[in-house]
Structure 1
Amino acid sequence: MRLLSIFLFLLFAHASFAQNLTGIWRGKRTQGAQGCFPEYGLELHIEYSNEQLIMGNAYSYVSREQFTKTIFKGRYNPQTKRLVLIESSVLSYNVPPQCIPCIKTYQLNFAVKEKEETLEGQWTGHEMGNSHACSPGNIALHREVQPIFPVTVQQTDSLAELQQRISLKQRDKEVVETLKVDTSRIRIDLYDNAEIDDDTVSVFLNGALLLYKKRLTDRPLTLNINAMPNSDYELMMYAENLGRIPPNTSLMIVTAGKKKYEIRISSSETKSAVVKFRYDLR
């Protein structure tokens, strides 16, 4: 009996740790009497890693036209099922002139209610551009399979700053493969496809720079991507040179769950190779 209890405890702990919060969460956010509106729609685009780190974007809205988009980071505790998200800045907004967007901190609890995954809790915050406190409120969200607002690919601050400084030559795009996957977690490994001849590439995902001027070798350049459900992704290989033996060639190995795909790619000074993929969830 004692061994069975230990086994069940370990199984439960593993299941809690493995909880994947990556995806679209949507519902309502209330605000106190001094807020612009008593209730907002709220859509979180969450990316969750095995290290329990959280990042993503939040859309607070009263309509698709009136919204505030912010970026956040945070952590999830799988033992307590508590999630803390802290917004760092407002990326874009379109609100009535008398309204000031809030930069918020979320304290949320994960639960499964009648087979529906939920995030519920409270938020506090301050007005954008000053330290005046916003009237706090409550949050109630559930997992969705389709986003209302566009999904943004997350970058490190250094890559985002670098992308603003570089300029790319205009090139045609050639789609070499289109994949449908059944998991949000996708691993991409890039190798030189033939003789190692100093082929160098930059890699973009939906226009966001993820790798810059990296040399292809027999050791992989690895990208781990947390894909949002029912969203289209376009991975572009931009040849920074053609190596000693043109064209610039690479082998891409895509691992998605139990499936693995090998894709051979060729890029040149006039075209960039593109691989498209989509995580279908219904």
Structure 2
Amino acid sequence: MRLLITMLALSIGLPAIAQDFNGQWKGSFNARGENGRVEYVLEINVDGDEVTGYSYTYPVFGGKKYYDICEIKGSVNKEKKYIEVIEVSKVKSNVPPPYRFDCFQTHKLTYTKNEDLESLTGSWGPAKLSISVCGTGFTKLERRKLKDIVTTLKNDPPPVAKKETPKKTATAPITKTEHKPKPNTGLVKTNKPANAKTSNPVAAKPKITAPLANKETKKTIELKKDTATIVKKSAVPVFEKVVTKPIPRFESRTNKVLKTIEVSQDIVTVQLYDNGEIDGDTVTVTFNGEVVALKKGLSEKPIVLKLKIKENTDNELVMYAENLGAIPPNTALMVVTVDDKRYQVTISSDEKRNGSIIFRRGG
């Protein structure tokens, strides 16, 4: 999962802009004269003509996959659809010493689009900061498509409808208690031995007559446990206030606002997916200072959030990396639905920074 700060926001209802290099590009490069390719990922953020972001190289030594994370800088020429990316410093690596070498690369790439496939292709060579002999080679990267993901954004009403069913089952135990109306004082003591141990705590609460559930027998309590789990499952996508205590190390990280989105409606739907390999990445998400998703694992199935937007103020959604997964970095693919428009957002964070999105709604 990836959480090192970069973001792509594309209105899915609008045609893609050919010169938009922002976001995550995945692919590989090879070394001239050698067999095989090395997995390579670029997280690109463009501001004017300047490029910043991170590169991720995944070499394999002895059958084991490692990672090498570098900070990148560079420039773009949008008219020529050309981008130059230079690795300038190493951020993190788990490559063991026998294979470790400082080979910073420069990638010179050109944007092309063939139907729905967007690509960056070109050549690479050693950057000026490289100490080791790097060699040269060819690079090919592609942007991840959202076509399959967006189709899952259709079901939210079904879980709400399921809330009605457990309440109907709660009426069944009430009819069972009517079989023994005479021994009202001994109702608890005449239960089966399996329930005898819990008779005293139940007998202490018959005074509360408003909720029907308190008049039920021990069998009724067992059913209540089942209904509670059903309600929790259906409530996950809707305004889930999980905790109010501060998240450890959350305040020590800086928040970088990646995108500001103007909205006219008071409800925004957000879906979060793992944007890389499914490797145990977990995140915590806050909205306006409250936790709406606590230590949730990212996968191909979305974490669904419905957020209520306040008027005339900044509504901040912050994603916090609980871990970096088995294969860093940690990046989540976010699908935001606003005013019947959908946006693809690649949002990232690490141990030092959180990814943030601002929603604004005029009065």
**Higher relative contact order (CA closer than 8 Å, sequence separation 6+):** 2
TM-score range, shorter chain: 0.3 to 0.5
TM, length-normalised to structure 2: 0.38
TM, length-normalised to structure 1: 0.48
Instruction: Name the one with the larger helix percent.
Output: 2
Instruction: Name the one with the larger strand percent.
Output: 1
